[in-house]
Chains A and B, each alone.
Chain A
Amino acid sequence: EIVLTQSPGTLSLSPGERATLSCRASLSIRNSYLAWYQQKPGQAPRLLIYGASSRATGIPDRFSGSGSGTDFTLTISRLEPEDFAVYYCQQYDSSPLTFGGGTKVEI
């Protein structure tokens, strides 16, 4: 099983600032089969990024993903008020599908 470790657990920032979230895998993930999701309180997760760096439909370009192998990053270039949420990474290289523990981006 591929274990994903996200850091930091909580990121305290202000609107307009840049957010950098990390996701580290216990094994190398082939073909960058890594996705990122955003979840706001009381809502279902929403797909942001797939293939490590491709934005899902309708996702603003302030969200970008990068990385390969075991180290991946989600960057939010300039935080908008609606971006304060919890972010999860997920690998789909192998079963069982696994998620990271999440990073909360708070004001």
Chain B
Amino acid sequence: EVQLVESGGGLVQPGRSLSLSCTASGFTFDDYTMHWVRQLPGRGLEWVSGITSNSGAIAYADFVKGRFIISRDNAKNSLYLHITRLRPEDTAFYYCAKARRVEGVRWALFDSWGHGTLVTVSS
């Protein structure tokens, strides 16, 4: 069974940095592209970033504007998101999601999700 467990969320002051982690199990982690998706409180879903299996390709949503860095450590079955210069509008649940393979498509859809970690940006 695929399991994705996020951690690292919490209350952070504006302008500070935070690192989120996602530990994966139940599948061959280094075979799959992984993503971060966020959900603002009471709002819809918003794709944040994706990284291919060998970290050879990375993509970000436009709103990231150089403040987020996605990375992974396949030896540790772990995905990371480092967020700098946090803003109140970054307050959200951050989900780690496993990509479903689609022939010829680098950034596709999400077939498994973690339960999310809440980041609250407030002074």
Interface of A is mostly: loop
Cβ-defined contact, B113 with A44, below 8 A: yes
Residues of B within 8 A of A61 (CB): none
Cβ-defined contact, B107 with A33, below 8 A: no
Kindly identify which residue among A37, A46, A50, A98 contacts B47, using a CB–CB cutoff of 8 Å: A98
How distant is A58 from chain B, measured CB to nearest CB, in Å? 11
Contact segment of A17-25, A65-73, A99-107: A99-107
Cβ-defined contact, B114 with A90, below 8 A: no
Select from chain A the residue with minimum beta-carbon distance to B106: A95
Contact count band on B: 20 to 34
How distant is A72 from chain B, measured CB to nearest CB, in Å? 13
Select from chain B the residue with minimum beta-carbon distance to A98: B47
- Count the A-B residue pairs with Cβ separation under 8 angstroms: how many? 60
Cβ-defined contact, A33 with B105, below 8 A: yes
Select from chain B the residue with minimum beta-carbon distance to A50: B109
B:84-118 near A, CB below 8 Å: 95, 100, 102, 105-116
Cβ-defined contact, B105 with A92, below 8 A: yes
Known: A44-B95, A50-B100. A35 touches B109 (CB 8 A): yes
Select from chain B the residue with minimum beta-carbon distance to A96: B61
Q: Tell me, in angstroms, the Cα distance from A24 to B100 when the chains sit together.
A: 23
Select from chain A the residue with minimum beta-carbon distance to B4: A44
Residues of B within 8 A of A97 (CB): 35, 47, 50, 107
What 20 additional pairs, Cβ within 8 angstroms, besides A43-B115, A99-B46, A102-B45? Answer: A1-B62, A33-B102, A33-B108, A35-B110, A37-B45, A44-B114, A44-B115, A45-B110, A46-B113, A47-B109, A47-B111, A50-B100, A50-B102, A88-B45, A90-B45, A90-B110, A95-B107, A97-B35, A97-B107, A100-B44
Residues of B whose CB lies within 8 Å of any CB of A are 35, 44-47, 50, 59, 61-62, 95, 100, 102, 105-116
18 contacts between A and B (CB under 8 A): A33-B102, A33-B105, A44-B95, A44-B114, A44-B116, A45-B45, A45-B110, A50-B100, A50-B102, A50-B111, A88-B44, A90-B45, A92-B107, A96-B47, A97-B47, A98-B47, A99-B45, A102-B44
